[in-house]
Amino acid sequence: MATSSALQRLAPYALAALRIMAALLFIEHGTQKLLGFPAPPASGSLPAAFTLSWVAGVLELFGGLLLVLGLFTRPAAFVLAGQMAVAYFMAHAPRSFFPVLNGGDAAILFCFIFLYLVFAGPGALSLDGRRR
């Protein structure tokens, strides 16, 4: 019983760690698309402004930043979950039914982590929590 209550007290911090780490990984996809860092995109060139790939990069970079900060967490996570669902069905699903074969594992995981954040909120260490 004591262990369960101790874990329950730490749950908001575990949620914050999930939010922050997922967002940092997500930001990396945006910086790759928009800045060519840490490596150029698979296409070899940065996307032109206002193309679908560019919009995805902007969402990944700035939406990820909002999640790291825990600012507007629920709406940002909702938009990013939708982005990942669209990305999966546009870019990955046509290649194969199986995510391990179509390279869509990360898109699915990001989608459901962000969807969870819509319902769970930001957890501890968030600007949303300070605004309340």
- Model confidence over 25-57: pLDDT tens digits? 999 999 999 999 999 988 889 999 999 999 999
The pLDDT, as a whole number, for residue 110 is 98
Sequence-distant (6+) residues with CB within 8 A of 64 are 23, 24, 26, 27, 30, 80
| Distance in angstroms (rounded) separating the CA atoms of residues 16 and 72 | 14
- Output the pLDDT for position 3: 86
Confidence of residue 2 (pLDDT cuts 50, 70, 90): low
Tell me the pLDDT band of 72, cut-offs 50, 70 and 90: very high
User: 85-118: buried (b, 16+ CB within 10 Å) or exposed (e) per residue?
Assistant: bebbeebbeeeeeebeebebebbeebbebbbbbb
pLDDT for position 12: 97
pTM of the model: 0.93
* Cis, peptide link before residue 38, omega less than 30° from 0: yes
pLDDT digits (tens, 9 = 90+) for 75-132: 999 999 999 999 999 999 999 999 999 999 999 999 999 999 999 999 999 999 998 7
Q: What pLDDT score was predicted for residue 1? A: 58
Where are the domains positioned within the chain? 12-126
The lowest-confidence range among 2-6, 60-64, 69-73 is 2-6
The residue to which tokens 């605004």 are assigned: 131
- Cα–Cα distance measured from residue 104 to residue 33, given in angstroms and rounded to the nearest whole number: 17
